């Protein structure tokens, strides 16, 4: 086993507190974001059943034999119970629950149905979805998580700066996205957090445009939405650029969008909700006549997953949580003409919203 995994152990203890409060006897965590969150080991099990069992006084991992050594090397959980192809892992899991008299079992929502169905066939346990408990924990980042996200943001911004030297009249969107990925590697990021969006001209009015062979031209908006992954954690940033200068209509919506983004960051405090954040940005854009052109939520939580709680939507009345991490990314999109989006990854701490980003938000000319 490498490292002491102190943060992962604390996360399991916090989950146990929630289990105790809700009389949950066992919590089952398949491979995926929560498995990494609790064990420190990022892996896939494909079709093979791999489960972390968390009870009030124990934890162990049921895993295929071929993963046993990896789990001992890369996680802190000492009790690894391997199964071979001659065994039935679903029956083994069910037997463990019955032996432990687990009446109420919480299940991570990423457990595939093809595992869930045989695991709980004729089971005496009652099952509930456990995602509300894990997401409540994951929404509040610890120091290790904040440091990893900060590094991911910094390195991805450094990669963007290198990439901008490549952006010029006549270069394709795909080429820019490819160069950005190369520069992620140069800057020591583990991998991209998601497929980079490079959208030029009229394509920039499509928020989730896929980079194409369209060539970039002078004076038109170029949206670059990018993020890298470091230590298992993601960053997510968007900036809008222009070669030489912007056309007047695009310059106008850029400044409105920037005002909405910066006003929201400044306004957030312990008495504001995630819904308030969305409302504040939307009001700025609506007052300037472009409310109908802001066509998505203001932002989303970010951490192990690129999209996770909290979501900055009109019905999220939850007050800002200390050390929650999320994006603030208003956008204005004029169909067939172009668009603007400015996005920071931020965290809420000591009563204020604090961006991880340092890349300038004044109108960006290449």
Other CB atoms within 10 Å distance of the CB of residue 282: 18
For the chain, what are the domain ranges? Answer: 6-138, 143-365
CATH number of the domain at 143-365, please?
3.90.230.10
Reported pTM:
0.95
- For residue 122, the model assigns a pLDDT of 83
Q: What is the DSSP letter of 14?
A: H
- For residue 45, the model assigns a pLDDT of 76
Going by C-beta distance under 8 Å and a sequence separation of 6 or more, which residues neighbour residue 248?
A: none
- Is residue 49 within 8 A of residue 90, CB to CB? The reply is yes
Q: Where are the beta strands (DSSP E) in 162-221?
A: 191-192, 197-200
Instruction: Return the CA Rg of the chain.
Output: 23
- Is residue 291 within 8 A of residue 282, CB to CB? The reply is yes
Query: Could you tell me the end-to-end alpha-carbon distance of the chain, in angstroms, rounded to an integer?
Result: 48
User: Which of 283, 306, 150, 146 has the alpha carbon at shortest distance from 225?
Assistant: 306
- For residue 109, the model assigns a pLDDT of 96
- For residue 293, the model assigns a pLDDT of 98
pLDDT tens over the chain, length 366 residues? 557 899 999 999 999 999 999 999 999 999 999 999 999 999 987 799 999 999 999 999 999 999 999 999 999 999 999 999 999 999 999 999 999 999 999 999 999 999 999 999 888 899 999 999 999 999 999 999 999 999 999 999 999 999 999 999 999 999 999 999 999 999 999 999 999 999 999 999 999 999 999 999 999 999 999 999 999 999 999 999 999 999 999 999 999 999 999 999 999 999 999 999 999 999 999 999 999 999 999 999 999 999 999 999 999 999 999 999 999 999 999 999 999 999 999 999 999 999 999 999 998 888
- For residue 169, the model assigns a pLDDT of 95
- For residue 2, the model assigns a pLDDT of 58
Instruction: Give me the CATH topology for the region 6-138.
Output: Creatine Amidinohydrolase; Chain A, domain 1 (3.40.350)
């Amino acid at each position: 086993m490498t490292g002491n995994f102190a943060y992962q152990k604390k996360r399991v203890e916090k989950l146990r507190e929630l289990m105790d409060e809700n009389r949950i006897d066992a919590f089952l965590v398949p491979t995926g974001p929560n498995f990494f969150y609790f064990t420190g080991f990022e892996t896939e099990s494909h079709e093979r059943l791999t489960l972390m069992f968390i009870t009030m006084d124990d934890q162990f991992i049921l895993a295929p034999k071929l993963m046993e050594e990896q789990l001992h090397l890369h996680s802190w959980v000492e009790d690894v119970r391997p199964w071979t192809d001659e065994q039935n892992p679903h029956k083994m899991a069910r037997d463990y629950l019955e032996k432990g008299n687990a009446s109420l079992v919480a299940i991570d929502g990423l457990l595939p149905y093809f595992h869930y169905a045989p695991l709980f066939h004729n089971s005496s346990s009652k099952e509930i979805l456990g995602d509300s408990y894990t997401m409540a924990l994951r929404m509040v980042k610890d120091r290790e998580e904040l440091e990893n996200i900060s590094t991911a943001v910094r390195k991805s911004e450094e990669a963007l700066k290198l990439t901008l030297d490549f952006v010029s009249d006549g270069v394709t969107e795909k080429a820019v996205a490819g160069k950005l990925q190369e520069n992620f590697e140069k800057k020591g990021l583990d991998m991209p957090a998601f497929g980079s969006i490079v959208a030029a001209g009229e394509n920039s009015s499509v928020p989730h445009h896929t980079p194409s062979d369209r060539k970039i031209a002078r004076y038109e908006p170029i949206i670059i939405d990018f993020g890298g992954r470091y230590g298992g954690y993601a960053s997510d940033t968007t900036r809008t650029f222009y070669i030489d200068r912007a056309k007047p209509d695009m310059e106008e919506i850029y400044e409105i969008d920037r005002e909405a983004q910066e006003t929201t960051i400044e306004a957030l405090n312990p008495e504001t909700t995630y819904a308030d954040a969305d409302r504040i940005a939307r009001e700025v854009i609506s007052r300037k006549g472009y409310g109908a052109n802001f066509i998505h939520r203001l932002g989303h939580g970010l951490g192990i997953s690129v999209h996770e709680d909290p979501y900055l939507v009109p019905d999220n009345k939850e007050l800002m949580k200390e050390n929650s991490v999320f994006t603030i990314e208003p956008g204005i999109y004029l169909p067939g003409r172009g668009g603007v989006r400015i996005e920071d990854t931020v965290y809420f701490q000591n009563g204020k919203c604090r961006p991880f980003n340092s890349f300038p938000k004044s109108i960006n000319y290449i």
